[in-house]
A = this chain, B = another copy of it.
Amino acid sequence: MAGYRVAVVGATGAVGRTLVQVLAERSFPVSDLKLYATERSVGTGIRFGNELLEVRRLDEGELDGTEFAFFCATAEVSRRLAPRLASRGTVVIDKSSHFRMDPGVPLIVPEVNAEALRHHAGIISSPNCSTIQVVVAVNPIHLMSPVRRMVVATYQAVSGTGLDGVDELSRQSRAALEGAEASGSVYPRRIAFNVIPQIDAFEPSGFTGEEMKLVRETRKIMGDEGIKITATCVRVPVFHCHSEAVILETRDPLDANEVLEQLEKAPGVRLSRGESGYHTPAECAGRDEVFVSRVRQDPCLENGLSMWVVADNLRKGAATNAVQIAECIAGR
């Protein structure tokens, strides 16, 4: 089959495995797919369509000639390898946080700012999971009237921390149901039957890295440094899908019905109008859309709107968004 020489770096992680699956599902044109991971995962077999591919160790030079390289490893791996690869003509689509705020690197959510891809220099960043779903839901409203302020409270799944987070929630939940205490190594507190108001490290402001990512990345993607954003990011005992309570204020008064009409046709958005038709993580796992519900005018704010936004953090929040970026570049 004609197609591109593609590589996935960090193929055995939660995002990497989902990405290989999404490449197959969306039949991205691949002539050759190479999967890479760290030493301990070398030899692992990962299914791509009907083939079973073996994971290799990433050596210098290994990636030469690759046309699309998806980086799903650490920021450190991206920092070390992406620039050299890009300089040799590979298009690097980076899921790590390393290049996101680099003015020379586009930060892309195709439904929102695909046009920013025109000026890339070989590296394209994919945003943080909690940012992607909020901009897909809010941008259609931003286009009706500029968003002035946004308050976001998140309910984030453990798969955002990777497979270790999923294991820790299962292990601790089993123990708790038997009246036992299971130790944890992934989260700063117990996650089973608990919520933790810390994701990523604290910054001097008292906000966490995750909260500031949502602030900074949203401004860059929506192309408006003036938007005032406050976020409280909280880990909840859910396996898949992040949920967000989003409250925003627009420059002009908006009619809730017109907002619903815009969201109805907005790219990547799956809207529920009926008040009890809201979405929960359980129903959105494995889906690619950003689910928007409970859209309501907010009496407490000047031109205020409240809504509830759910998306699968491993799919639209990570793998699917990265593959969509490659599709844009491949002109599909």
Residues of B within 8 A of A303 (CB): none
CB–CB A228/B155 < 8 A = no
| Contact flag A230-B300 (CB < 8 Å), given A155-B155, A282-B189 | yes
Q: How many angstroms between the C-alpha atoms of A232 and B202 in the bound complex?
A: 25
Residues of B within 8 A of A299 (CB): 205, 228, 230
| Contact flag A306-B155 (CB < 8 Å), given A195-B281, A278-B198 | no
CB–CB B301/A238 < 8 A = no
- Say yes or no for A263: interface residue by CB 8 A criterion: no
Residues of B within 8 A of A188 (CB): 276
Q: Which of B150, B280, B297 contacts A197 (CB 8 A)?
A: B280
CB–CB A243/B195 < 8 A = yes
- A268-319 CB contacts (< 8 Å) to partner B: 275-276, 278, 280-283, 293-301, 304, 306, 308
| Contact flag A197-B149 (CB < 8 Å), given A173-B177, A236-B236, A245-B234 | no
- A155-210 CB contacts (< 8 Å) to partner B: 155, 169-170, 173-174, 177, 188-190, 193-198, 202, 205-207
CB–CB A237/B301 < 8 A = no
CB–CB A306/B276 < 8 A = no
CB–CB A232/B173 < 8 A = no
CB–CB B239/A300 < 8 A = no
CB–CB A195/B296 < 8 A = no
Interface residues of A (CB under 8 A from B): 149-151, 153, 155, 169-170, 173-174, 177, 188-190, 193-198, 202, 205-207, 215, 228-230, 232, 234, 236-239, 243, 245, 247, 275-276, 278, 280-283, 293-301, 304, 306, 308
Q: List 30 A-B contacts (CB under 8 A).
A: A149-B300, A150-B300, A151-B247, A151-B300, A155-B195, A169-B193, A174-B177, A177-B177, A189-B280, A190-B280, A190-B282, A194-B280, A195-B236, A195-B238, A197-B245, A197-B278, A205-B299, A206-B275, A206-B295, A206-B297, A215-B300, A230-B247, A230-B298, A230-B299, A232-B247, A232-B294, A232-B306, A234-B245, A236-B236, A237-B238
